[in-house]
Structure 1
Amino acid sequence: MFTRDYNKNPFIVIWELTRACQLHCLHCRATAQHHRHPLELSFDEGKKLIDDIYEMDNPLLVFTGGDPLERPDVFEIAQYAINKGVRVSMTPSATPNVTKEVMQKAKDIGLARWAFSIDGHCAEIHDHFRGTTGSFDLTMNAINYLHELNMPLQINTVISRYNYEHLDELANMVEKLNCVLWSVFFLVPTGRGKESDMITSVEHEKVFRWLYDLSKRVPFDIKTTAGQHYRRVVIQQKMREKKGMSDKEQIFYEDALMGGKTGQIDGLGRAPKGVNDGNGFVFISHTGDVFPSGLLPIKAGNVRETLLATIYRESELFQNLRSPEKYKGKCGVCEFNKVCGGSRSRAYSATGDYMESEPYCIYIPQAMRTKSVPVSETTSTLF
């Protein structure tokens, strides 16, 4: 039974080891640079941070950047965490840093999983989005190395106007690459990301429906980031298919509307309770600043000055984000707000208020309708 209380401990911690990176991606929230920052957390500071993370009920730890491989001590840091029993994953950039020898070293120390980004089914789309010619070919080579070493592969994709028309081709490629997880990000205009690069709210909904249908036939798991309303679509579709559900599934999806209190594992293959910015999720920058996520640029503290647990549990920012009853607009009255909650990052980007409604959700909550509609029938009102 899942017992983690997100008011006390996160499900996942993202640590931006460095902002250095050789790529120049159009959507980069970090506006990564070619050189490392002189005030990055040191190796010793990193070890202390890992100790503090471990004490928060040992959440999943992900090394990101920039490119974590731009830090020469990345594997020493990973080794320290793994020796403590922390589950570590890494999201390196597809650059010449990624060699078969480097991957072998990662496997030898026990790195749980590697994730690579693929943002187009062909080099033209992917390389344009990543801002670097040759990135697609480097990514494919790196994935081949990973398969030769029998290491699990996660593929990350940012959905944007550049690849929206080619999602079927992209999904076919992902399936052929034999990944264990397709992590689908929905662009938030922060850093180098622009609102003009985003798909529309209706297109978000269509992609969610498409992802749900896809999830029923592919062998890999699918999760979304900055697409919390995918959870609402999954629940709606599952409830519509209620007659074909097992008793266990029915218990979960009915319970999800109450915030996932039973702790049943969901059909999306990850945390049994919805993770959102500051709610089961915390981001630590290369200089130790703490944010609810890498896409919500409001600083809550710094680990050089305050324990991570104190910042996560006690800051007003994090406490507000864990209070869906305080959300404004339709998110505040939506029957799905405990399991969904909308992207707090996108709300902030669009309105300047992280408690405002998700601006790219077309769903109208039951409380705002003139006629009450059962949850199992709400999908019929969307198009």
Structure 2
Amino acid sequence: MLRISQYLREIATAEREGVYPSPRRAQSGGETRPVVIWNLTRRCNLTCKHCYALSADHHYPGELSHEEICTVMDDLRAYGVPVLILSGGEPLLHPQLFEIASRAQGMGFYTALSSNGTMIDAAMADRIAAQHFDYVGVSIDGSRDTHDRFRRKVGAYDESMAGIRLLHERGVKTGLRYTFTDLNGQDFPFLLQLMKDEGVDKFYFSHLNYAGRGNIHRGRDAHFEATRQALDLLFETAWADAEAGSSRDYVTGNNDADAAYLLAWVGRRWPQWQAPLRARLVAWGGNASGVGVANIDSQGEVHPDTMWGHHQLGNVRERPFSAIWSDRSDPLMDGLKMHPRPVKGRCAECQHLALCGGNTRVRAHQLTGDYWAEDPGCYLDDNEIGLSQEAASRLARVALTPFSGKRRVIEVLSA
């Protein structure tokens, strides 16, 4: 996740004081422990078009019991995991969500909730507020009609927005989560204004990743120019807030090329601050899959992040999370933990590899079958990544091909 507002606030401070602010003191003590996004249940009352978990409104057998969840939490705390994001499916459908949240908070985890918002009526808002979650994120895909189409439910927008307003009235820190595609890109300006009108604290701009239904619908991913225009608007909005001293936060995810694009955006306006910003972005390191973020699904499978649902590292019923996460015998996990990662093609030749970390490996794998091929979602052109003419002529871009669910028929000839 790229914290746009954090970096632009630093630029605003530098402009006021004439000196770039000192970096935050890095934590010592060895390897960084990941933020864990925990899909407590796969069940959801919606069947959204871009759902990475392929959730639906029915029971999924084999989900972790409450006792198993507590055992995993003990291991996570001992391992030094700082953050739990309780997700799904729709986590509000988990019968013991609030008991789990209470235990997590009592153990000292930063505890957040990720919801679609449709189940947050006044009574549920009271319960969420009383739980004192550190943050609650609610997905909104666009204006009313757009959101309802994405969520495949008429009235979903009104229900989700009602939930957000109820949380806001109770002082709960809330955020909008938005996935940008060519089907809802036209609604992005509306959502930025909605954030201000509703007093929402945070805006999370997610690029489409090719997982679950997001992979099935990858043919409707946003075109590169549309992505650039959306990010320009996002940066301008975040800069206006940073300059005005607003506490609203803007972040992006699932396309770490955003770091290089932000660096260029800043460089055109304040070239004197480009070098210290680049140092900050290199320290951030880009894609965090397998390093700074982890996923545990409802059945206990551990994944490098939520978008790697098709790649299992191990199950917490068989081995502790700490042992699974530290084990580099899995080739994908080993590569994700390398510095630099063993990327190929345009990614290997890119001058911004230290910023983005090779971007999202999921898209590369889904399209090519190769973990380390170039990320086809990178919207930067050859000049922006510093590609020579020779390299540009040698390295053809990976084409974005629509998902095909057709199975090949292999004829078997008898002897």
TM-score by length of structure 2 reads: 0.80
Aligned pair in 2 of structure 1 residues 355, 81: CA closer, same or farther (>3 Å)? same
Residue of structure 1 in register with 2:140 after alignment: 118
SS at match of 1:331: helix
SS at match of 1:91: strand
For residue 362 of structure 1, the aligned residue among 379, 397, 408 is 379
Correspondence 1:153 to 2:174: yes
Alpha-carbon distance between aligned partners in 1 of 2:219 and 2:194, rounded to the nearest angstrom: 26
CA contact (8 A) 1:90 1:113 kept: yes
Correspondence 1:230 to 2:254: no
Alpha-carbon distance between aligned partners in 1 of 2:361 and 2:78, rounded to the nearest angstrom: 27
1:1-383 to structure 2, matched below 5 A, reads 1-3=25-27, 7-10=31-34, 12-95=35-118, 97-121=119-143, 123-193=144-214, 194-218=217-241, 219=246, 220-243=248-271, 245=273, 250-251=275-276, 253-256=277-280, 259-260=282-283, 272-296=284-308, 297-315=310-328, 316=330, 317-323=332-338, 324-340=340-356, 341-363=358-380, 364=382, 368-370=387-389
SS at match of 1:115: strand
CA contact (8 A) 1:215 1:222 kept: yes
1:119 Cα deviation after fit: 0.5
1:204 Cα deviation after fit: 2.4
What percentage of residue pairs aligned between the two structures are identical?
26
Aligned pair in 2 of structure 1 residues 8, 140: CA closer, same or farther (>3 Å)? closer
Gaps of 5+ in 1: 261-271, 373-383
Alpha-carbon distance between aligned partners in 1 of 2:268 and 2:164, rounded to the nearest angstrom: 38
1:47 Cα deviation after fit: 1.2
Alpha-carbon distance between aligned partners in 1 of 2:208 and 2:385, rounded to the nearest angstrom: 27
Amino acid at match of 2:270: K
SS at match of 2:240: coil
Amino acid at match of 1:73: Q
SS at match of 1:14: strand
Aligned pair in 2 of structure 1 residues 303, 87: CA closer, same or farther (>3 Å)? same
Residues 5-61 of structure 1 deviation map (CA, whole Å, 9 limit, x = unaligned): 895521x11000001111110111111121232211111111122222223333221
CA contact (8 A) 2:83 2:110 kept: yes
CA contact (8 A) 1:15 1:285 kept: yes
CA contact (8 A) 1:28 1:192 kept: yes
After superposing the two structures, state which structure 1 stretch, 319-328 or 176-185, moved more: 319-328
CA contact (8 A) 1:119 1:163 kept: yes
Residues 169-215 of structure 1 deviation map (CA, whole Å, 9 limit, x = unaligned): 22111221212211111112321221222112332233223322221
1:88 Cα deviation after fit: 0.6
Aligned pair in 2 of structure 1 residues 8, 166: CA closer, same or farther (>3 Å)? closer
Aligned pair in 2 of structure 1 residues 57, 273: CA closer, same or farther (>3 Å)? farther
What is the count of residue pairs matched by the alignment? Answer: 353
1:237 Cα deviation after fit: 2.0
Gaps of 5+ in 2: 1-24, 392-415
CA contact (8 A) 2:210 2:362 kept: no
Amino acid at match of 2:292: G
1:273 Cα deviation after fit: 4.5
TM-score by length of structure 1 reads: 0.86
CA contact (8 A) 1:8 1:312 kept: no
Residues 138-166 of structure 1 deviation map (CA, whole Å, 9 limit, x = unaligned): 01110111111011111101111121123
After superposing the two structures, state which structure 1 stretch, 189-198 or 12-21, moved more: 189-198
Residue of structure 1 in register with 2:396 after alignment: none
Amino acid at match of 1:143: I
Alpha-carbon distance between aligned partners in 1 of 2:360 and 2:95, rounded to the nearest angstrom: 34
SS at match of 1:240: helix
CA contact (8 A) 2:168 2:200 kept: no
After superposing the two structures, state which structure 1 stretch, 104-113 or 41-50, moved more: 104-113
Alpha-carbon distance between aligned partners in 2 of 1:4 and 1:184, rounded to the nearest angstrom: 30
1:114 Cα deviation after fit: 1.0
Alpha-carbon distance between aligned partners in 1 of 2:213 and 2:96, rounded to the nearest angstrom: 28
Aligned pair in 2 of structure 1 residues 6, 337: CA closer, same or farther (>3 Å)? farther
Alpha-carbon distance between aligned partners in 2 of 1:8 and 1:243, rounded to the nearest angstrom: 32
1:292 Cα deviation after fit: 1.0
